[in-house]
Structure 1
Amino acid sequence: MPEVSTRSQIVATASGDIELRWAEVTDTGRRREANQDAVLAEYPLFVVADGMGGHIGGEIASASTVDRLRPVAEAGNVSAKAIEKALSRAVKDIASHPETTDDGTGTTVTGVYLDVSGPVPHWVTLNIGDSRVYLSRDDSIVQITTDHSVVQELIAAGRLSPEEAENHPYGNVITRAVGPSDGVTPDYVRLDVLDGDRFVICSDGLTKELTDYGIQHFLGEHDDPAAAVEAMLDAALENGGRDNVTIIVLNARLRGAAGEASVFDQDAAVTAPTTTIAGGVASSPAAD
């Protein structure tokens, strides 16, 4: 078991402070020889990348993507424009590497960042591929991102049920990735910030082994992010560990000016995505 610890940060905003606590883990699993996942968990950006490709191509693709996104997180002012510029650079890195010539080389990238550029803070999720972002609120869990996969397209077209999709032969085939032959514009979802928000960002190595209910169960059992990711990883490995497993758990608590727990704007708060945008978010603060 990799060593896991919970980190925290207080984010001051005009509406009050946000206390963030998070932990991350990545593991090769029980059947893979190498770990082609990569993870970035540095405020304000929390991202998982799941590489694919022959030999070590997938490992290079996911690592290149995370390496290009890291300076965006370190700059502290994350935006869709900055993310897409970093992903474009990652594509060039992947294409120029001598060990990423396989046509199937690429990586998913999914995550969430806290946008505090406006008068009221918001979450913004981003996604390319079939890694996922889940949001837990009010004792329920919702998958915020939509998989870019063959089976998801079949489900959306009504040709396949979610139960049938679990064992479909094309279950691992994704329709969008960060790679030499693909675009690099993620889908974005913008969300209000509520007290008690909990995100799970993960590669499909987790969702192959745990249902949404299982993920919610371990969140309910463990308030501490490190304990939650350790419990989920243990369960994924016990259930087979057929793929690399990468998990981030991110908790948020809101504090008013005097330190009391609060929400920013209860009237504006929602429990579902406010906007889903493909091809950029030029109309929102996330794209500034």
Structure 2
Amino acid sequence: MEIQREIVLSDGAAPNHAAPNHAAPNHTVRFRFAGYSDRGAVRRINEDSYLAALPLFVVADGMGGHAFGDRASQAAIAAFADSFVDTEVASPQRVLDAIRHANDAVLAVGDSADADGSLSGTTLSGVAFVETGPRGNYHWMAFNVGDSRVYSWDGRTLLQLSVDHSAVQELVDQGEITRLEAHSHPERNVVTRALGAEAEVDADIWLLPARDRQTFLVCSDGLTKELDDDEIARIIVFHAAESARTAPGEYAISVAERLVNAAVAAGGSDNVTVIVVQSEAVGTAVVSDDTVDRDAMPAQLEETRPRG
């Protein structure tokens, strides 16, 4: 089921919970989110882990064929949870620091006494609600390492924001194979970046200005192995129609659970994890500039938008 939260944001001030009826420039943002995970129809254990709690929504997919893939993903998510206790709005630097801490945690799994020298790794993808400056400049910060994905949904179009770090994506980019051929290519499971692979992690980062209403989907590749983007979009539309017909008080399956169930029914060849998060400004709209103050941003973070 979905969780609903509201926070009151004040331009130039910290979030305020004591006075929900503040006049502008304070405004309320309502969040709805749900996460769901399943080991699938084939795998013996679930090596996916996830975190869905303001201001952070993250999926980690332990790398198959490596030692302790489940422990690697759990260690990465635990590092994020420790970094964002009782925080409803993050800073970009804090997210970057959490990614580094997660990488260190996964490396520690591989260095443990019972790892026997084997590698441990995990992919990572997510979004965080961040404030990029001192004047209430709110953004969604998307990030990705590996082939787990981040999508946006505007009610009509499902757009992949992240770029897969995978061998087949590189072949697609070079024009050697098509996206359709990538689904059956023998190297389709080979990732080119992961937490735990190197001492320094190279994450892709995007900043998206906060708008009146936004929806993001974060998932492991267990979803996209079984369902293409068009099918995912159809399920989201179907879910919205079904939810509108659900009587108050009735149990309502979340769109995250519906998508996971559909992927398992379609074959479930891998673990499947999905988070869906929606933000909506109530009353006064969230005002966010496209241009970010460079002096207020970490040096590692570029002003960039997802391709496409």
Structure 2 length as normaliser, TM-score? Answer: 0.79
User: Are the aligned partners of 2:38 and 2:271 in contact in 1 as well (CA < 8 Å)?
Assistant: yes
Deviation at 1:99, TM superposition (A): 4.1
Identity of aligned residues (%): 34
Matching residue within 243, 267, 270 for 1:243:
270
Distance in 2 between the 1:212 and 1:65 partners?
Answer: 27
Deviates more, 1:209-218 or 1:143-152: 209-218
**Gap runs ≥5 in structure 1:** 271-278
RMSD: 2.4
Deviates more, 1:20-29 or 1:180-189: 180-189
Structure 1 SS opposite 2:222: helix
Counterpart for residue 59 of structure 2? 48
Deviation at 1:217, TM superposition (A): 1.5
The amino acid of 1:197's aligned partner reads Q
Matching residue within 197, 203, 206 for 1:186:
203
Counterpart for residue 7 of structure 1? 3
Please state if 1:264 is matched with 2:287.
yes
- Encode CA deviations 1:124-153: one digit per residue, 9 max, x unaligned: 001100000000014111100000000001
Distance in 2 between the 1:10 and 1:226 partners?
Answer: 21
The size of the alignment, in residue pairs, is: 266
Structure 2 SS opposite 1:148: coil
**Structure 1 residues 228 and 87, CA gap change in structure 2 (3 angstroms):** same
Q: How does 1:82-121 map to 2 (within 5 A)?
A: 82-101=97-116, 103-118=118-133, 119-121=136-138
Distance in 1 between the 2:85 and 2:117 partners?
Answer: 32
Deviation at 1:256, TM superposition (A): 2.3
Distance in 2 between the 1:120 and 1:94 partners?
Answer: 37
- Encode CA deviations 1:90-139: one digit per residue, 9 max, x unaligned: 13422322344465520001000000343221000011000000000141
**Structure 1 residues 52 and 182, CA gap change in structure 2 (3 angstroms):** farther
- Encode CA deviations 1:165-208: one digit per residue, 9 max, x unaligned: 11000000000001153632311011012233111100000001
Q: How does 1:58-207 map to 2 (within 5 A)?
A: 58-76=69-87, 77-78=90-91, 79-101=94-116, 103-118=118-133, 119-181=136-198, 183-207=200-224
Distance in 2 between the 1:130 and 1:194 partners?
Answer: 27
The amino acid of 1:112's aligned partner reads V
Structure 2 SS opposite 1:185: coil
The amino acid of 1:281's aligned partner reads L
Counterpart for residue 256 of structure 2? 229
Structure 2 SS opposite 1:74: coil
Distance in 2 between the 1:185 and 1:146 partners?
Answer: 13
**Structure 1 residues 230 and 281, CA gap change in structure 2 (3 angstroms):** same
Distance in 2 between the 1:281 and 1:208 partners?
Answer: 30
**Structure 1 residues 99 and 178, CA gap change in structure 2 (3 angstroms):** farther
Distance in 1 between the 2:84 and 2:67 partners?
Answer: 26
Deviation at 1:227, TM superposition (A): 2.2
Distance in 2 between the 1:136 and 1:269 partners?
Answer: 19
Deviates more, 1:13-22 or 1:236-245: 13-22
**Structure 1 residues 95 and 36, CA gap change in structure 2 (3 angstroms):** same
User: Are the aligned partners of 1:176 and 1:182 in contact in 2 as well (CA < 8 Å)?
Assistant: no
The amino acid of 2:54's aligned partner reads Y
**Structure 1 residues 204 and 81, CA gap change in structure 2 (3 angstroms):** closer
Structure 1 length as normaliser, TM-score? Answer: 0.84
Matching residue within 223, 227, 246 for 1:210:
227
